[in-house]
Amino acid sequence: MASAIIAGLIDGGHKPTTINVSDPSVEQLTRLQQQFGVLTSTDNLQAVADADVVVLAVKPQVLAQVATDLAAALQPEALVISIAAGIDCRSLSAWLGQGTAIVRCMPNTPALVNLGASGLYANPQTTAAQKVQAEAILAAVGIVVWLTDEDQLHAVTAVSGSGPAYFFLFMEAMIEVGVAQGLAPDLARSLTLQTALGASTLASNSEEGPDVLRQRVTSPNGTTEQAILSFERDDTRAVVKRAMAACAQRSVTLSEELGAK
């Protein structure tokens, strides 16, 4: 995700030398420096010393240690953007300092192709100008929506944060069945991926909702109707509801397990 954000910023006109990347892996830093021309360091404190905006793109399990170590090195007016799932602003403030401007972000992997969807929430210490900064950074890799309630990030995680995996699973199943029904694997893959892309693009460009688009392609007594009826008999909507509820609950649990005590 960090690589996607870096690429989006540079494509949007940011100079590589204004971006300082810190990582414990020298191999990773070398790759990023060669690919983007950014500044690199294995020292987090050095990387944030003069930064106006700090993006924490680390695993939730190590965020407490990383944030606590950074606290003394942050500029007083720095904005901190966290993309770690489940870690709330209360915990981040406890580790970074109570006056720190914080924006929590839940992005998703299509950011890698500039088609991401990010939900953002800003704590009260974040100024209007800093919100503009945060939005510009995440808008470089897709669409951005602002949330007024931090708890809504759990739902964003279930909808868009983890959502790409749901579609990938459905694509896997369609490809497998296409092959089982006699298509060559490459044909089944091409048809499935293009169908997914076409359906998404059509839905994005239409003034009608997905429900109307589905009804339009479902002719009475036709082939599509039989597939839809099968989905409905298997209570597909309930399956999706349970899956997304499990996802959101895991986001809540992470917050409880890894947040400041």
Q: Are 87 and 63 in contact (CB under 8 A)?
A: yes
Which pairs count as long-range contacts for 168-172, CB under 8 Å and 24+ apart, including other chains? 170/196, 171/196
Among 19, 55, 54, 57, CA closest to 35:
19
| 59 annotated to bind ligand | yes
Whether residue 44 is annotated as binding a ligand: the answer is yes
Burial class (CB in 10 A: 0-12, 13-18, 19+), 192: buried
- Residue 60 annotated as lining a ligand binding site: yes
The answer to whether the beta carbons of residues 86 and 251 sit under 8 Å apart is: yes
In this structure, what token pair is assigned to residue 245? 């509820």
Nearest Cα to Cα of residue 107 among 73, 130, 71, 139: 139
Q: Is 57 annotated as a binding residue?
A: yes
- Two structure tokens written together for 235: 């209570």
Which residues carry a binding-site annotation for NADPH?
44
Which residues carry a binding-site annotation?
44, 57-60
Which residues carry a binding-site annotation for NADP(+)?
57-60
